[in-house]
Structure 1
Amino acid sequence: MPPPATGLFVDLEFPACVSSLLGRGNTPLTPLCDRITWLRPQEICPSPHLFPENRKDAIGKQGILGDCWFICACSALQKSPSLLHQVFPADQCTWEDQGYTGCFVCRFWRFGRWVEVTIDDRLPCLGHKLCFSHCQDQGAFWLPLLEKAYAKLHGCYEALWAGQVVDALVDLTGGLVERWSLEFAEESFREEMLSRMLDLKDRCAMSCSVLHSKEGSRDLGQFHAFTITDIQHGFTKDGQPLLLFRIHNPWGRSCWEGSWGKSGNKWALMDQTESSRFLSQIQDGEFWVDKEEFFREFNEVAVAFPVIKTDHVQSIWTGSVLSHTQQIYGSWIKGQNAGGSRNNSSFSNNPKYWLRVRKQSEVYLILMQISPRGEIGTSNNMSSRKLQREGSYSMVPIAVGLHLWKVEKRRFNLQKTILTTPVAGTSSHSYDRQLHLRCKLSPGYHLLIPSTFLRDTEGDFLLRVLSIGPITLREITSNPPLEWASNDMMPGTWETQELKGQWKKSNSAGGSRNFPSYHLNPAIPFCVPTNSQLVKFTLRQHNLENSCHAIGFHVYLVPTDGSLSPFSQVPCASCIPHSHSLEVSQICDLAPGQYIVVPSTYLPDQECTFSIFISTLTERKPIQSEETLGQILKEVSVISLMK
């Protein structure tokens, strides 16, 4: 084998050492680490290449890492060349190119955005052979490189030891995935499911899993995922129809000795030509099962929605393109808006959103919980600190739910509305990282409330809406009473200050309260006079609408004796969750005193200038001008800070 070239890229953020293999060290990978070496592809085989000439040879094998769930999800990339190039960008220099550097870039969809992960091509090996994933064609390296990038995203290889196929499919497609339970499924549902699978088998990634072994079928293992590579109709000698599923085991070897195994007894039901046709199609690790065996042996199916060339998701139920997308980040914070499920009287305190549907549409409402210590990927390169914080070891899922009500008009009674039956809602709160509701919604306004099952459970989330028709999604930023709809409804005079500031990286862009750098944010003082009733805050970022940061603010009371920092207190008012909007506002009922307002972006180090308007409603009668202006004059003072 030729020696590796010198001067190749070395990834210092994900080094070729034990720290990139192990996290907690509580898996069977631990005792093997001392024997693992890191080699570049040209040290492993004489002529490495990214992709095999024969598409079937790209199918993945698992190796000694327990990441069958990820290997199965990678079948989505084999179904769609455009999606493959989205995740594994084309035109990267390889070992056959003169400009080869040993550096590769992969992309993953993380919490609402595509993020890039850069790696070198040193891969874990045992005895000069890849010890983790590899392709049927062992000279093709796209899969082990993608697996390494995914391991870096999670902090280490061991973090991939167990997971959900649906989560990996979302990370690889940025779309929707449905999970269908096969246990106790009614016959009508099974038939509808089979119809969908037959229609989608050439366009969608489909996986089936065994969650617990059944008596007499231990061949398939437990907590193991498989790829459905094909579904075909067949016929017996006497013309009886058959439906056979071709299943691939990521172990790369057959594990099934059932009736349709290679030496199974049911092949005799077919004539030789028909049976030879089926048997000639299977590769290493593949086997056939019929419909009855499929429903008996497997516990659930995962189906990824097709992603078409325009990067839009296509409905698996109607074939319609979900061409309209909106998303908002949010948080449940203890003592503020973590109201719990509908079992709690505090349910109405949860984050609330207006969803306006412009025309009758098929709509998908998606709630994705984000790791409590995770990062929302916004930059092209992710530091090792961020990668570690985003790791699956820090992900402690919480039970979440989502409910939707149709309202006839914007001004409504919140408490009465949430006591009625929702138009759509989760039947139970789920620990899934992502859940969704499929709805057919009529034009008008809808109230959308995501919640945790237990009150005061904290967490971050991403709320997405995909629709075939135009929609508008925005958060309800005003606290009850919701009847505070406009300034004109409140008698008195509004006195407004405009204050300008800037979030500057490593200086005044501290991010949200989730980050230790929060105290770096601008702290803007203001006073609530004794004759004041209400204070309205409006935060406006000076940014383009399509590149908005998620913004929000907190208001703190300044202690009269100066003994405590305002940051050490619980905010007395907040405009959260942070919203990707040009402007957010909140009306607060504050007692007279000295305060500071702290505007922030959700993530640290996001730079932008901003203006914040502080309007105080006083009980003074409005000043009437003798001139024929026809409107109330408002006193406005402009103050410029922190230029």
Structure 2
Amino acid sequence: MAHPGIAVHLTKDSPVTAATPVLPYRDQNYWDLKRRCLQERRHFIDPEFKPCAESLGYHELGPRSTDIQGVVWKRPKEICRFPKFVRGEMNRMDVCQGQIGDCWFLAAAASLTLYPHLLSKVVPGGQSFQAADYAGIFHFQFWQYGQWVDVVVDDLLPTKDNRLLFVRTPTDDEFWMPLLEKAYAKLNGSYEAMNGGYMNEAFVDFTGGIGETIPLKTPNLKLFKTIEAVLNKSSLMGAYINVTTFNDREAQTSQGLVKGHAYSITGIHKLYFDDRQVRLLRLRNPWGHREWNGRWSDNSPLWGAVAPELREKLHVQRRDGEFWMQLIDFIQYFDVLEICHFNADAPGEGVSSRWNTDCFQGRWVKGHSAGGRQTSQPWDLFWINPQFHVALFEPDEAQLRKQLRKGQEHKAPTCTLLVSLMQKDRRRSKNRGKDFLHISFQIFQIPRQYLQLSSAAHRKEMLPALRPVCPPYNGSSRDVTGYFQLPPGDYLIIPSTLSPFEEADFTLRIFTEKKHQFLEIDEEISVEGKVLQVMKAPQIGSDQDLEEIFLKYAGQDQEVGPAELQAILNQNATKIPYLKMEGFTVEECQRLIQHFNLGSRSDKLTLQMFQHLCASLQEWERIFRIYDVDRSGTMNTHEMRLALEAAGFHLNKPTMEAFMKKYSNPWLQIDFKRFVFFMEHLKSVFCMCKSRDTSGSGVLNMTEKEWMELATDY
């Protein structure tokens, strides 16, 4: 009868609770800090984002930069006589860009002002410079990777010659926008970290919504309808012109447009001109100047044929950075349209306004789950990346209605699937020379057989044969998002970086109209029964030869202690130069004896236990030889995972990472001696689990914390 193994089923350490609506960023509670400042009659100075050179930047705005000479941090009351947090209402004209390249953020903020219900979430009310309530502290709220955070700032702002260095408002006495920019700079590590970006990044942080990118050079007959629908749904939108060379950056075209610059799209209008309909878009440059000078621009003679009342309604000739363009000109001169659908508004016609969503926080870890993109090379590591199963059960309602209406003429109904991959906190790493990685995700249709595979080795073999449903979605931005229409079925999502061994945290979100299943594919923690059996004596000649070796070193008590075992093992290890072993120490032999004595307190081995030890060592050596593919005398992490499965051990990713951290060298390599102790450790842990299975079910239930303590504290 086969010896049964043992499986460990993990539960969460605490009951799953709803996410906190808003968390204080860096544990700074706005209300507590403000109350304390008012009680102590002092103005707040933020210890987490000090008014110093490091908060400005690290290179062009770094401590040694000449660009920051003469910068003085001042409170609004030192800049103007009667500062206001908001003058009247916050609107898109309050945004004038300063001396950093954060037009992407400012264009998004300008769009946000069109929707007061959204703006009030980001810019909480009740803030002012009135003496009775003023403590030099303000707060703003942003969505960050699945959680809203409340960011506190003081009101010390960088100035030169008593003028704000960065964003300002046209009146110079309104400060909600400079303080919002400061809060976002704090969130990202510095003002300079905000240099360069995409509007969708800020759109998502303002709303927690879904970013979508539409290339304008791809023919799209429904583009104006799409823009109209997006504006009607109060979604955020912007556009930009691609930059092809470094010198192109913020270069002005002959039409008055700025390359690589983010423009807000703030409105549309249709009018009749020469007996034909003209479709217009309203755009805004966050600089507050430099406008389009082509057809339907502020000074275009075409406006002469339009009624003065309509010209006034459309705010023509304001010279405020806002202008009108005809749709065909917009498509000709701009390259990319960015949309953020918030409140679960869908990007397609007929899609429900409510999403079923899932969010997973993950990490690409060097040697464990950072496999890079898929290649056809023998050393391809794509299979070690995190893998996620998405089951789509039912087609969208609109698809079902179309099928009922058109019958067999309509193609098989599909499900909407949005996938958003975000790399986390990379802007904060810019001061350490890091930037956004090139990230990607691929989607494969999978048979149920793939989900039933119990080992990474089997999935590795099957993965190259899976059919991708689309080319990889990739980019060097924070967010990479794809919109798909797929038939019901099982799908595999694999997020990755461009190259193997690139480490980063990521957030993976999926959105579907109908219910779905979303799970990470990982190993079950278990051991096969063969591992827990006492192995028979190895075939290294004969039982008599093994007994002679034992008796040669054993004392009168017919047992060997640590010193004798060391002599035996090291003598035989030198006969296998491939293993490149330095030999076992007395302390290490003492540890082996304790393990193979099966619970006895004796510090010596009998002949039977010695035979058991030799059998295990021979089996482990055999496995080591097979999976040390490059014959280096060491195994890397992914070779080690396959070796463990061959030996009968199955570990999930966190357990594997913990054990590799304990036993590998700084290069994540394991030699044969480390491999022996890795295996000995695992076997001892699972023997302990087996002893706890008093019901004999072969399953042990425990929390994640309990398992990690048992596994790593042994």
Common topology (TM > 0.5): yes
Residue matched to 1:535: 649
Residues 494 and 356 (structure 1), Cα distance of their counterparts in 2 relative to 1, 3 Å cut? farther
Taking the TM superposition and a 5 Å limit, the aligned residue runs for 1:141-180 are 141-180=175-214
Distance, in Å, in 2 between the alignment partners of 1:22 and 1:636 is: 50
Q: Deviations over 1:133-178 (max 9, x none)?
A: 1234543322111100111222222222322222222222222111
Task: List per-residue Cα deviations over 1:92-126 (Å, max 9, x = no partner).
Answer: x4212623211112222233333332210111223
Q: Is the 8 A contact 1:353 1:476 kept in 2?
A: yes
Whole-angstrom distance in 1 between the partners of 2:100 and 2:661: 53
Relative to the length of structure 1, the TM-score reads: 0.70
Residues 88, 567 of structure 1: alpha-carbon distance in 2 compared, 3 angstrom cutoff: farther
Q: Deviations over 1:179-229 (max 9, x none)?
A: 22223x22xx1x222211012225122111122479962522222111111
Counterpart in 1 of 2:361? 329
- Name the aligned partner's letter for residue 199 of structure 1: A
1:95 matched to which residue of 2?
129
Question: CA-to-partner distance for each residue in 1:503-547, whole Å, 9 max, x for gaps?
Answer: xxxxxxxxxxxxxxxxxxxxxx996976694235579xxxxxxxx
What pairs with 1:415-434 in structure 2 (closer than 5 Å)?
Answer: 415-416=461-462, 418-426=464-472, 429-434=474-479
Q: CA deviation at 1:276?
A: 4.4
Aligned partner of 1:570 in structure 2 is 668
Structure 1: distance between partners of 2:500 and 2:699: 43
**2:261 counterpart residue number:** 224
Count the aligned residue pairs.
Answer: 527
> CA contact under 8 A between 1:134 and 1:143: conserved in structure 2?
yes
- Find the counterpart in structure 1 of residue 146 from structure 2: 112
Counting helix residues as a fraction of each chain, which structure ranks higher?
2
How far apart, in 1, do the equivalents of 2:660 and 2:327 lie?
Answer: 63
- CA deviation after TM superposition for structure 1 residue 444, in Å: 4.4
* Letter aligned with residue 330 of structure 1: G
1:395–1:557 distance in 2 versus 1, CA, 3 Å: closer
After superposition, residues 18-29 of structure 1 pair within 5 angstroms as 18-25=53-60
Distance 1:293 1:439, change over 3 A: closer
Task: Give 2:169's aligned residue.
Answer: 135
Q: Aligned-pair distance for 1:461?
A: 2.2
1:211 aligns with 2:257: no
Q: Secondary structure at the match of 2:686?
A: strand
What is the TM-score when the length of structure 2 is the normalising length? 0.64
Tell me if structure 1 keeps the 8 A contact 2:92–2:114.
Answer: no
Which runs of 5 or more residues in structure 2 are unaligned? 1-37, 396-414, 534-591, 597-612, 620-646
Query: Which residue of 1 is the match for residue 372 of structure 2?
Result: 340
- Counterpart residue type for residue 403 of structure 1: I
Unpaired runs of at least 5, structure 1: 375-386, 479-484, 496-524, 540-549, 559-564, 574-589, 599-611
Query: Cα distance 1:50–1:403, how it changes in 2: closer, same or farther (>3 A)?
Result: same
| Greater CA drift, 400-409 or 285-294 | 400-409
Higher relative contact order (CA 8 A, sep 6+): 2
Q: Report the residue type matching 2:161 in the other structure.
A: G
Corresponding residue for residue 581 of structure 2: none
Partners of 2:463 and 2:321 in 1: CA distance: 54
d(CA) in 1 for partners of 2:595 and 2:254?
72
Partner SS for 1:394: coil
Residues 1:367 and 2:425 aligned together: no
- What percentage of aligned pairs have identical amino acids? 25
Residue among 79, 98, 119 paired with 1:63 = 98
User: d(CA) in 1 for partners of 2:54 and 2:98?
Assistant: 19
- Indicate how the Cα distance of structure 1 residues 145 and 451 shifts in structure 2: closer, same or farther if over 3 A, else same: same
Q: 1:39 to 1:193 in 2, by over 3 A?
A: same
The alpha-carbon distance between structure 1 residues 636 and 292, as it changes in their structure 2 partners (threshold 3 A), is closer
Give CA-to-partner distance per residue, 1:587-636, whole Å, 9 cap, x none.
Answer: xxx965356989xxxxxxxxxxxxx9943599x9x9xx9xxx9x778999
Could you tell me which amino acid in structure 2 is paired with residue 352 of structure 1?
A: Q
Query: 1:198 corresponds to which residue?
Result: 228
2:303 pairs, out of 264, 267, 275, with 267
Deviations 1:250-278 (A, max 9, x none): 11124332232222222234354444443
Shift of 1:46: 3.6
Q: How far 1:21 moved relative to its partner?
A: 1.8
Question: Secondary structure of 1:139's partner?
Answer: coil
Aligned residue for 2:292, secondary structure, equals coil
Partners of 2:328 and 2:85 lie apart in 1 by 39
In 2 relative to 1, CA 122–28 (structure 1 residues): closer, same or farther, beyond 3 Å? closer
Judge conservation of contact 1:534–1:617 (CA < 8 Å) in 2: no
More strand by share: 1
- Bigger mean CA deviation after superposition, 453-462 or 138-147: 453-462
Q: Do 1:49 and 1:95's aligned partners in 2 also have CA atoms closer than 8 Å? A: yes
Find the aligned partners of 2:139 and 2:439 in 1 and give their Cα distance.
34
